[in-house]
Structure 1
Amino acid sequence: MSSPQSKLQIAIVGGGIAGVALALDLCRHAHLNIQLFEAAPAFGEVGAGVSFGANAVRAIEGLGIGKPYQLIADRTPEPWQDIWFEWRRGVDAGYLGASIAPGVGQSSVHRADFLDALAQQLPAGIACFDRRALKVEETAERVRVGFTDGTEHECDLLIAADGIKSSIRDYVLQGLGHPAVAPRFSGTCAYRGMIDSETLRAAYRAAGIDEHLINVAQMYLGLDGHILTFPVKKGRLINVVAFVSDRSSQDPQWPQDKPWVKNTTQTEMLDAFSNWGDAVRILLECIPAPTLWALHELEELPGYVHGRVGLIGDAAHAMLPHQGAGAGQGLEDAWLLARLLAEPQVDAGNVKRVLEVYDQVRRPRACRVQRTSWEAGELYELRDRQVGDDQSLLSATLASRFDWLWNHDMEIDLASARAQLGWQ
């Protein structure tokens, strides 16, 4: 048992962006003892470019990791610095409009680069590797997490940041009297690749295609498909994600024996977009060996916490990537938890209540972002019931639909949480 005078022992399971960001913030506080457990032998992120909205950039700054982020982040160059995406028709790259994020624009980074920058700041002894969580046991006062190597760790509070395939989520749901929730296949797959920006410029120049399409993040829209491009690695590479949706089934299934990510052929990718225009065709021709990703998500959960165990990031609300908001929601989780747990009045006696308030404040917003991320995909692929393929309505909708997401004030969330906790 922890005495009120002892350090609050917090364990974080999962060494992705959200887990490491939370650990970094919490380990700065003398009254907290932080241990981070990662299943892999070293930190590493799956994927390539990740985009952050204005809300996520504020969370990054609030977590004290703004400087390392800005050192490696990509921004749209002037005079287009406020543009998040330009929207275009896939058939001819015709301009539909742009979404503007003042002061932020398209802020993106290579996932592995960002995680590496964060991990370098972790104090020695915080991270433990090759520790895959297997089970959780809880008493009134402590939590014990068991790992596949037979070791165990006891703490006052356990935070699961172990992704969409979380091994701890089912414990929380069982405690809430809810059946287990497994990731579900969305019916959408994504072809991904990275292109040397000079290679793409040369190809566009040779075909007489405007190089502006390389300078500014683009989203090409079409029936049952859409393609996004944005720069990473300080503009040296162009991150390309080409989505295609199979709408033949109401309940699409991904074969259990097939990996979610696999190598595929350029021919298959080009066939999926054979009716699209030259800008798209040449773009995809610059990706000789794409990978194919089966996009999975979670249903909205009835709760993110049980007892002394809480979920953050994709373990709680894995979503489709269509608003560039998934990683940002994990960072918002980390920001709010870090602000609350940093309070000196938090101890082993009231930490369960802190988790309950975190859930009450964060879950409604995260669930809305999950829901609207799916809706965004329908909009991009001309399947929105109100908008369809009406170009003027599509342009107007895209110009403003992200404002509520980006302009969210997390300080209001913190004030609400503090009020619920009775803190002045």
Structure 2
Amino acid sequence: MSSPQSKLQIAIVGGGIAGVALALDLCRHAHLNIQLFEAAPAFGEVGAGVSFGANAVRAIEGLGIGQPYQLIADRTPQPWQDIWFEWRRGVDAAYLGASIAPGVGQSSVHRADFLDALAQQLPAGIACFDKRALRVEETAERVRVRFTDGTEHECDLLIAADGIKSSIRDYVLQGLGHPAVAPRFSGTCAYRGMIDSETLRAAYRAADIDEHLINVPQMYLGLDGHILTFPVKKGRLINVVAFVSDRSPQDPKWPQDKPWVKNTTQAEMLDAFSSWGDAVRVLLECIPAPTLWALHELEELPGYVHGRVGLIGDAAHAMLPHQGAGAGQGLEDAWLLARLLADPQVDAGNVKRVLEVYDQVRRPRACRVQRTSWEAGELYEYRDRQVGDDQSLLSTTLANRFDWLWNHDMEIDLASARAQLGWQ
């Protein structure tokens, strides 16, 4: 039995879904010492519904958190259980086609519910709260992270899972000889709200709108805007996100003194979609107090690791939500890192090499998902140069556009990483 001093000491900064999932997997191994630091006074997620593709669901299962996820996850009801989204024109809700994810369909959950389910499984003593990372210092053999409360922590390895506004990302980029990267405003804002499903059904009946639009996840498409709906809370609530893009500025900027999330009015939201059809109008009329989200993303980074410090999740590759893939990429990061770091062949002497291999394997895929998430938004809003608003092309393009994303085999990634490390 190894002594505490001989254990590999791993610190994780950031208690979102990716950070907690990684901590949960790693703390099951007796030869690892895991400490998780969260800036907030308790675990908590910003946002509402989050969607997971088939690849993300496999990562969830591989991380050993499949059971708590399935207990709270929503699925499209039979006989539509394999549908990810139905695609419709925003002007009249005319059917354009559907994207099919066999065996998974639209798998979604309320972010806060999922994080709460994970946090409940975390052993006592793993998580420390009110610990906002300030800076990182590194020697040949150790990493020290200093917090804003004046305390510090030393470890063999530091994993930053502290989101798009990561305080550790700049340390990694500086070590790579790259300038700091700040989140950039995409030019797209999203109105968000949750609707009681029975309220929406009553409104649709009164307006003689097909209730099928509630039963199955929908994506309404239009010029410079799109709207998605899917159920959460076991179908009791309908998550609605209505995107609007301002394409007039070449380099859109969000005012530094404005919050990224703010309350807004229903009138403003309805005005943004005034030319759309009745199904959209009635849907949005059921959201009396929407919030407005300014969507930010990161440019593709030149690397996710430097020395004994690595980035995962949004700290590494924050992306637009148009493929429902951001959280899933963080879970893929966690899955691969957990498989590698838990291997008995890892020690303080080779952990830097393990991080380098993680970067080499994960970064190309995550960068591709970043790019294609932006491209998906262009497609939905009739701005794709090849497709435009051609309904036939939209239908065929959307039918199988996501297969490469969902069908990715992470075991192949793991085999590649192990081969690069020279592990049998």
Contact in 2 for aligned 1:2/1:156 (Cα 8 Å): no
Contact in 2 for aligned 1:10/1:33 (Cα 8 Å): yes
TM-score w.r.t. length of structure 1: 0.99
Partners in 2 of 1:148 and 1:346 — Cα distance?
Answer: 31
Question: Aligned in 2, Cα 1:339/1:362: closer, same or farther, shift over 3 Å?
Answer: same
Deviation at 1:340, TM superposition (A): 0.2
* 3-state SS, counterpart of residue 296 of structure 2: strand
What's the counterpart of residue 204 of structure 2?
204
Deviation at 1:290, TM superposition (A): 0.1
Partners in 1 of 2:393 and 2:230 — Cα distance?
Answer: 25
* 3-state SS, counterpart of residue 5 of structure 1: helix
* 3-state SS, counterpart of residue 93 of structure 1: coil
1:8-407 → structure 2 map (5 Å cutoff): 8-407=8-407
CA deviation profile, 1:330-375 (whole Å, cap 9, x unmatched): 0000000000001001000000000000000000000000000000
Partners in 2 of 1:345 and 1:33 — Cα distance?
Answer: 16
Deviation at 1:5, TM superposition (A): 7.5
CA deviation profile, 1:390-421 (whole Å, cap 9, x unmatched): 00000000001100000000000000000000
Contact in 2 for aligned 1:2/1:348 (Cα 8 Å): no
Question: Aligned in 2, Cα 1:172/1:2: closer, same or farther, shift over 3 Å?
Answer: farther
Partners in 1 of 2:133 and 2:232 — Cα distance?
Answer: 33
Partners in 2 of 1:330 and 1:148 — Cα distance?
Answer: 26
Question: Aligned in 2, Cα 1:6/1:225: closer, same or farther, shift over 3 Å?
Answer: same
Deviation at 1:2, TM superposition (A): 12
Question: Aligned in 2, Cα 1:335/1:375: closer, same or farther, shift over 3 Å?
Answer: same
Partners in 2 of 1:5 and 1:264 — Cα distance?
Answer: 53
Partners in 2 of 1:2 and 1:161 — Cα distance?
Answer: 28
Contact in 1 for aligned 2:4/2:33 (Cα 8 Å): no
Q: Structure 2: where are the runs of 5+ without partners?
A: none
Contact in 1 for aligned 2:194/2:237 (Cα 8 Å): yes
Moved beyond 2 Å, runs of 4+: 1-5
Deviation at 1:4, TM superposition (A): 11
Partners in 2 of 1:398 and 1:155 — Cα distance?
Answer: 46
* 3-state SS, counterpart of residue 6 of structure 2: coil
Contact in 1 for aligned 2:263/2:292 (Cα 8 Å): yes
Contact in 2 for aligned 1:110/1:233 (Cα 8 Å): yes
* 3-state SS, counterpart of residue 219 of structure 1: strand
Contact in 1 for aligned 2:25/2:338 (Cα 8 Å): yes
* 3-state SS, counterpart of residue 405 of structure 1: helix
Partners in 1 of 2:341 and 2:227 — Cα distance?
Answer: 40
Deviation at 1:230, TM superposition (A): 0.1
Contact in 2 for aligned 1:2/1:8 (Cα 8 Å): no
Partners in 2 of 1:271 and 1:2 — Cα distance?
Answer: 64
Contact in 2 for aligned 1:50/1:324 (Cα 8 Å): yes
Deviation at 1:96, TM superposition (A): 0.2
Partners in 2 of 1:250 and 1:68 — Cα distance?
Answer: 44
Contact in 1 for aligned 2:193/2:291 (Cα 8 Å): yes
Deviation at 1:282, TM superposition (A): 0.2
Deviation at 1:64, TM superposition (A): 0.1
* 3-state SS, counterpart of residue 130 of structure 2: coil
Partners in 2 of 1:155 and 1:364 — Cα distance?
Answer: 28
CA deviation profile, 1:3-29 (whole Å, cap 9, x unmatched): 998000000000000000000000000
* 3-state SS, counterpart of residue 299 of structure 2: coil
Partners in 1 of 2:297 and 2:290 — Cα distance?
Answer: 22
Partners in 2 of 1:313 and 1:388 — Cα distance?
Answer: 32
Q: Structure 1: where are the runs of 5+ without partners?
A: none
Partners in 2 of 1:342 and 1:234 — Cα distance?
Answer: 35
Contact in 1 for aligned 2:14/2:38 (Cα 8 Å): yes
> How many residue pairs were aligned?
424
Partners in 1 of 2:2 and 2:45 — Cα distance?
Answer: 34
Partners in 2 of 1:334 and 1:129 — Cα distance?
Answer: 21
Contact in 1 for aligned 2:159/2:311 (Cα 8 Å): yes
What's the counterpart of residue 2 of structure 2?
2
Partners in 1 of 2:210 and 2:4 — Cα distance?
Answer: 65
Contact in 1 for aligned 2:322/2:373 (Cα 8 Å): yes
